[in-house]
Structure 1
Amino acid sequence: MNTNLLANRWGRRLRDAIGGTLLVAVATSLTGCSSLTQPINGIPANRLSPDFFPPPKNDLVPVDIALLSLEPPRDYQLGPDDILGIYIEGVLPFNPPNEPPQPPPVNFPEENSTLPPSIGYPIAVQNDGTLSLPLIAPLKVAGLTLEQVRNKIREAYIEEDILREEKARPIVTLIKERTYDVIVVREDTAALAGSANLANSGGVIRGSDRSASGGLVKLPAYKNDVLHALVETGGLPGLNAKNEVYVLRASEADKRKRADFLRDFYASQRAAAADPCYCPPPLPEDPSILRIPLRVRPGVIPNIAEADITLQDGDIVYIENRETEVFYTGGLLPGGEFLLPRDYDLDVLGAMALAGQGIGGTIRQGGGGGFGGASAVGGVPPGMLYILRKTPCNGQIAIEVDLAKAINDPRSRPLVQPGDTLILQYKCEEEILNFGLGTFFTFGIQELLRSN
């Protein structure tokens, strides 16, 4: 009797265990448990080496923009292409002895010029730095101030016995300073117009291109620097541009240096590509291109010399678009492409919010899943996020982020970097629980109402 009772008990327990196993299997198959059907082999974020994570940028500080500007001298120093206003009584213009002297002409500056009105006849400084005046040999004036040029003209006419000392009173003024033609290419202003209409998709980039704006800018002497070139074309780089400025020199030596650099680099690539295990390195920085950072680490003083920011004829100031600094979303997150912030860090929780999915929130319609309608009753939210991150040599690593841990432990919510793909999934137990909740509210309450 006791033996039969014990056998019946064990039989019932076995049937219950088999039934429970079958129920779990059926629930798992009905929910389409993504951890089984679409497994991702991830490594927990807190176990990864720091080499796999980007350096933080929250602590970056702006560079003092005064470093991008030239300090003008106290007195303007002349150079080729400067236009002077010169008046020499009796000589320029020539005046017959029996006639009264002619008054000097008055010249008003061009629009947007900071020069005061000038007096005299326009005479340009030649390319060799000399000034040609009537009756005397050309005078070397490059590097001299207006006062020094006036004294030099006076002494020259006295030495040649053309003017007496009491009559030699030349007037020298500056009509127009020399200018430098600089090309500015900006990829941030054109992109801003396109990105202003992106908000409808929660920050998704649509329609952005790399069309650039800018053009030829004429910079006066002692204002031919990077800061004035930026101010003339819209100011410092916008949020759609990288936090740096490139300067490409127009000299033939720099052009040849850039061509030699690219030729040597690609030649080494072709030679090494014969190795089947060869890993192509990223393109190194061109030594002939000056890169000026606009944000640096605290305590770091950028090494920016005056020669670096001084622009000459034909130099190119280039501001690069950062449209490649994006991350992608998938799985239970709304699929899309999102631009990373430029000046502050974005962790995985912020990236989910940017994509339209808050922590602990219900998956919105169209987000996918397979939890049997649990969203309608506030089911268990998905708790596993995977970051697919590219590694050198076309590799990839999957970083596993447990969202329950990420909420409480900052070390468990890594920063998002360009090129990452964020995939949100349910844990298998979460899908089973959501299936049970959905089944109860769909059928259990219905049966409860029927019984009443």
Structure 2
Amino acid sequence: MNKKSLPVGKRARHVLRSIQTVVAAGLLSTSLTGCTTITQPIDGVPANRLPDTFFVEPKNDLVPIDISLLSLEPPRDYQISGGDILGIYVEGVLPFNPPNAPPEPPPVNFPGEQSILPPSIGYPIAVQDDGTLALPLIEPLDVEGLTLEQIREAIRDAYIDNEILRPEKARPIVTIIKERTYDVVVIREDASRLNTQSLAAEYIRGTSDRSASGTMVQLPAYQNDVLHALVETGGLPGLNAKNQVKVLRASEADKRKRSQFMQQFYAQQRALMLDPCACPPELPEDPAIIKIPLRVKPGVVPDIPKDEITLQDGDIVYIESRETEVFYTGGLLPGGEFSLPRDYDLDVLGAMAIAGRGVGSQVSGGSASIIGGRSSAVPPGIVYILRKTPCNGQVAIEVDLTKAINDPKSRPLIAPGDTIILQYRCEEELINFGIATFFTYGLRELLR
């Protein structure tokens, strides 16, 4: 019998049965696919209920320090120390001339290509490590910390006091042939800085090279500071390096201090492992390592002592990579590992955008991919931030995306190590299942 020939009552009952079939199919689909908020629940705490200790400190307002604080101020007159090579000429003594022979002219020395010193006059005499200067016929002179003029007067007085030269003949010449240098090792874990924009883009995508490079540099006196070491090896740290500089001293005392520090820490760790309820402490700051920040809060002038930026032979300047400053994504977000920006804050909405899912965008998957292959009509409305806490704990921060869009205070900042999981609410999944089921089966049944 044709449906059009059915009575009105039977026709209404047929439409009702069709609608019931659609609803049953939708409920069956829901029961088969499951609601993730029920089958995979996450015990989250709303962001507005957590204390401030669970949130990261913002860094948008940090400003770069005055980089001149990383350099030494040279004195008005160069002060001699061990390692300097002086040009000295003393008529009749250096070089020695027979009484009736005419004096020899002093030699002229020209500096190397990298030196900024002017040409010098005299025979090269090195200042010893103890700061003494050995000259013919007199006892070694202590010239540590003296200027060229003071050394000239000391040499003149020594030859006159020992009755080697008469006052009218004592006219020594003292110049600098080569200033002392300091060998410093610079280790950098930031990549080449030939193209800063491409480097930043590659690092945000997680494809940049983070391998370390080491360089031995020779720094002249009064340029043996952190700033000159950085300039010689490529400049300030790149985007994939931390905004700080570490200085490791090469002295035996500092090496022993670092070794004792590590031994004490691991001994404490082994003792705590015997107690299953004890919380193992994190590795504290090494007191033998100098950390110099490169960005500070506005109005804060960092107190960087002169001895912290002064480098000696064998010291190590270390630029550390930010390879651990990453966050992870899961759930309805594409799974992956993404690097955090160095100089500005990243909230949960920005992290979702970096992962490839902007707020409010349609997400394929879930019920839509099972029924009809359509995109979801209602976007997911909740995201969880899984954040590590001390003692190997974890807190799940629940973020309502609707509130986060309208209220900036409801957008927690992302911290290193966070895992971001995007999910549907149960009612959102039901609506998506229902809409997909209706447009797949409902219209067909109604048209019948």
The residue type paired with residue 187 of structure 1 is E
Match of 2:317, SS state, is strand
The two structures have a TM-score, normalised by structure 2, of 0.88
Match of 1:61 in 2: 63
Match of 2:288 in 1: 288
What whole-Å deviation, never above 9, does each CA across 1:115-143 have from its counterpart, x for those lacking one? 11111111101122111112222111111
Does the aligned pair in 2 maintain the 1:191–1:208 contact within 8 Å?
no
Q: 1:403: Cα distance to partner? A: 0.7
What pairs up with 1:405-416 in 2 under 5 angstroms?
405-416=403-414
Counterpart selection for 1:173 from 167, 172, 175: 175
Q: 1:344: Cα distance to partner? A: 0.8
Structure 1 stretch 372-381 or stretch 72-81: which is displaced more?
A: 372-381
What pairs up with 1:397-412 in 2 under 5 angstroms?
397-412=395-410
Mapped partners of 1:273, 1:439: distance in 2: 56
Match of 1:111, SS state, is coil
Mapped partners of 1:113, 1:175: distance in 2: 10
Structure 1 stretch 184-193 or stretch 349-358: which is displaced more?
A: 184-193
Does the aligned pair in 2 maintain the 1:31–1:371 contact within 8 Å?
no
CA 1:330–1:191: 2 relative to 1, 3 Å: farther
* 1:426 aligned onto 2:395: no
CA 1:58–1:375: 2 relative to 1, 3 Å: farther
The residue type paired with residue 391 of structure 1 is T
Match of 1:3 in 2: none
What pairs up with 1:286-435 in 2 under 5 angstroms?
286-363=286-363, 368-372=365-369, 376=374, 379-435=377-433
The residue type paired with residue 272 of structure 1 is L
Q: 1:371: Cα distance to partner? A: 2.4
Match of 2:3 in 1: none
Mapped partners of 1:199, 1:172: distance in 2: 56
Does the aligned pair in 2 maintain the 1:246–1:290 contact within 8 Å?
yes
Mapped partners of 1:132, 1:204: distance in 2: 62
Match of 1:263, SS state, is helix
Mapped partners of 2:246, 2:199: distance in 1: 28
Give the superposed CA RMSD. 2.9
CA 1:257–1:197: 2 relative to 1, 3 Å: closer
Match of 2:86 in 1: 84
Match of 1:271, SS state, is helix
Mapped partners of 1:206, 1:76: distance in 2: 48
Match of 1:405, SS state, is helix
Q: 1:151: Cα distance to partner? A: 1.3
Q: 1:329: Cα distance to partner? A: 0.6
Structure 1 stretch 79-88 or stretch 180-189: which is displaced more?
A: 180-189
Match of 2:4 in 1: none
Q: 1:101: Cα distance to partner? A: 2.6
Match of 1:250, SS state, is coil
Q: 1:269: Cα distance to partner? A: 1.7
Q: 1:30: Cα distance to partner? A: 5.0
Mapped partners of 2:194, 2:270: distance in 1: 39
Structure 1: stretches of 5+ with no match in the other structure: 1-14
* 1:247 aligned onto 2:247: yes
Structure 1 stretch 218-227 or stretch 27-36: which is displaced more?
A: 27-36
Mapped partners of 2:331, 2:146: distance in 1: 71
Structure 1 stretch 21-30 or stretch 103-112: which is displaced more?
A: 21-30
CA 1:347–1:139: 2 relative to 1, 3 Å: same
Match of 1:148 in 2: 150
Counterpart selection for 1:94 from 70, 93, 96: 96
The residue type paired with residue 280 of structure 2 is P
CA 1:198–1:439: 2 relative to 1, 3 Å: farther
Mapped partners of 2:394, 2:424: distance in 1: 22
What pairs up with 1:151-166 in 2 under 5 angstroms?
151-166=153-168
Match of 2:12 in 1: none
Match of 1:371, SS state, is helix
Q: 1:27: Cα distance to partner? A: 4.1
Mapped partners of 1:97, 1:362: distance in 2: 102
Mapped partners of 1:191, 1:110: distance in 2: 29
The residue type paired with residue 343 of structure 1 is D
Match of 1:224 in 2: 224
Mapped partners of 2:129, 2:183: distance in 1: 16
Mapped partners of 1:303, 1:407: distance in 2: 41
Match of 2:368, SS state, is coil
CA 1:103–1:192: 2 relative to 1, 3 Å: closer
CA 1:198–1:134: 2 relative to 1, 3 Å: closer
What whole-Å deviation, never above 9, does each CA across 1:207-257 have from its counterpart, x for those lacking one? 755x31122221111111111111111111111111111111112211111
The residue type paired with residue 123 of structure 1 is I
Q: 1:384: Cα distance to partner? A: 1.2
What whole-Å deviation, never above 9, does each CA across 1:353-380 have from its counterpart, x for those lacking one? 11111111122xxx64332468846722
Counterpart selection for 2:46 from 29, 44, 47: 44
Mapped partners of 2:199, 2:83: distance in 1: 47
Structure 2: stretches of 5+ with no match in the other structure: 1-16
Does the aligned pair in 2 maintain the 1:331–1:368 contact within 8 Å?
no
Mapped partners of 1:114, 1:376: distance in 2: 72
Q: 1:267: Cα distance to partner? A: 1.3
Mapped partners of 1:273, 1:83: distance in 2: 58
Match of 2:394, SS state, is strand
